[in-house]
Amino acid sequence: MTDAKQELITLPQILSIPQRFATGPIMGRFLRELRDNKRIMANVCPKCGRFQLPAREVCAICRVPVTDFVEVGPEGVIQSFDLVYYASPDPLTGKARKAPYTTTNVLLDGVKGEDTLWHLLNETDPKKIKRGMRVRAVFNEVRTGSMHDIKYFEII
Amino acid sequence: MEEQNKDRWVVDGQLALPYQYFAGTVGSHFLTSLRDRKKILGQRCPTCNKVFVPPRQTCERCFANLADAWVELSDVGEVTGVTVINYQEKYLPLPPPYALALIKLGGADTPLTHVVAGVDPANVKVGMKVKAVFADERKGSLLDIKYFTPA
C-alpha cells in the first residue's frame, strides 16, 4: 500500500493539437522566396528605411505598412549566439530535440539597420564561435515554405 | 494586389505537448492491482462507511485518510448513467459511436466511468447489469479494463 518500495505509476502522454497558420501576403512572400528561389528577402520600411527580418506586415518602429522587399544575405556576421543544453520538445513532433544545439542572431549582408535573423548554427563548441564571425545560410534540398527551408547557418 | 494574393497561404502545424500523469501512491496501488491481479479496488471510509471508487487519498465527506482502506469490489455492476459518444478525436479510446457509462460496481457506493461494448450503444440503459472484461496485455492504466459488457 503506502510503503516505500511500492511501484509508482506514471502515464506518459503527448497532447497533440493540430493548428494552422495564415501567412498573409508579407510572410507568405518571405517564405515563398526561401522555398522557390533560396533567397532571403527583408522588407524595407518606406518611412525609416529599416530592414525587417523575417519580413513583417508593419514597421515595428513607425507602424506603417511595409511592402517593399530587398534581397539580403545569404552571408552575414554573428551578432550573438546561445548554446542550448535543455532538450526542449519539438512542437511538431513532441519528441525531445537533440541537445546541445546552437541558435544565433545573424546580421545579414546588405541589411540597413539592426534587425538580425534568428536561426540555428551548426557548431556546438563554444570555443569555436565568436561574435563577428562570418556565416552562410545552408538551404535544404527539399523546401516546403517554412523557416526550416534554411537548414542552418555554417561558419565560413 | 494579384501579385500579393498568390503569397497568402496556410501553413499546417502541430502543437505537441509531452507530459506525464503521475498516479500518486493511492492511484498506483489501484492501477497495479488492475494490471497484476485483475482486481478492481475501492476504499471504505472508516467513519462514513461509504465505499469509494475510483481511488482517492481523502474521504470527500469527512476528510478521513483512505490511503490504506482498500476493499475488493466485484467486477459486475449496474449502469447508473449512460451517454453515447458520437465524435472522433485522436485521444479517445475507441472509434465512435460507443457508450460511456457510470457503473456502480458490487460493493461500491460511487460509480466508475467506463466504456460499455459488445452491445448496440443505443441499447445501453440505466439498470443494465454489466461485467468487466480485462485487456490481455495490461499496462497499468484504466484501460487495463478493456470495457464492460452485458453480464
Complex ipTM more than 0.90, yes or no: no
Q: Span B3-29, mean pLDDT?
A: 84
Residues of B in contact with A22 (CB under 8 A): 8-11
Q: Which residue of A15, A21, A93 is in closest CB contact with B11?
A: A21
Share of chain B above pLDDT 70, in %: 97
Q: Which residue of B15, B29, B141 is in closest CB contact with A91?
A: B15
Q: Hey, what's the cell of A131? A: 561574435
* pLDDT for A116: 93
Cell 519539438, located at residue:
A90
* pLDDT for A91: 73
Contact (CB, 8 A) for B56 and B43: yes
DSSP-derived 3-state class of residue A83: strand
Residues of A in contact with B18 (CB under 8 A): 12-15, 89, 94-96
DSSP-derived 3-state class of residue B28: helix
Best residue in A6, A11, A86 to probe B by mutation, most B CBs within 10 Å? A11
Residue A7 has pLDDT above 70, yes or no: yes
* pLDDT for A3: 61
Q: Which residues contact B93 (CB under 8 A, 6 or more apart)?
A: B115, B143
DSSP-derived 3-state class of residue B14: strand
Arithmetic mean of pLDDT over chain B: 92
* Model confidence band, residue A14 (pLDDT cutoffs 50, 70, 90): confident
Best residue in A8, A39, A90, A149 to probe B by mutation, most B CBs within 10 Å? A8
Strands A68-72 and A40-44, by their bridges, are antiparallel
Residues of A in contact with B22 (CB under 8 A): 8-10
Rounded to whole angstroms, the Cα distance separating A39 from B109 reads 68
Across the interface, do B18 and A11 touch by the CB < 8 Å criterion?
A: no
Stated pTM of the model:
0.63
Q: Hey, what's the cell of A61? A: 518602429
Cell 498568390, located at residue:
B6
Across the interface, do B7 and A13 touch by the CB < 8 Å criterion?
A: no
Provide the number of CB pairs (under 8 Å) joining chain A to chain B: 122
Rounded to whole angstroms, the Cα distance separating B18 from A22 reads 25
Q: Model confidence over A27-61: pLDDT tens digits?
A: 999 999 999 999 999 999 999 999 999 999 999 99
**Chain A residue closest in CA terms to B140:** A9
* Model confidence band, residue A20 (pLDDT cutoffs 50, 70, 90): confident
**Interface list for A 85-124 with B (CB within 8 A):** 89-96
Across the interface, do B13 and A92 touch by the CB < 8 Å criterion?
A: yes
Length of chain B: 151
Buried b (16+ CB within 10 A) or exposed e, A8-40: ebeeeeeebeeeeeebebbbbbbbbbbbeeebb
Rounded to whole angstroms, the Cα distance separating A6 from B36 reads 13
Instruction: Give yes or no for A68 touching B (CB within 8 A).
Output: no
Report angle CA A11, A16, A18 to the nearest 5 degrees.
Answer: 170
* pLDDT for B33: 95
Q: Model confidence over A66-99: pLDDT tens digits?
A: 989 999 989 999 999 999 999 887 776 667 788 8
Contact (CB, 8 A) for A99 and A31: no
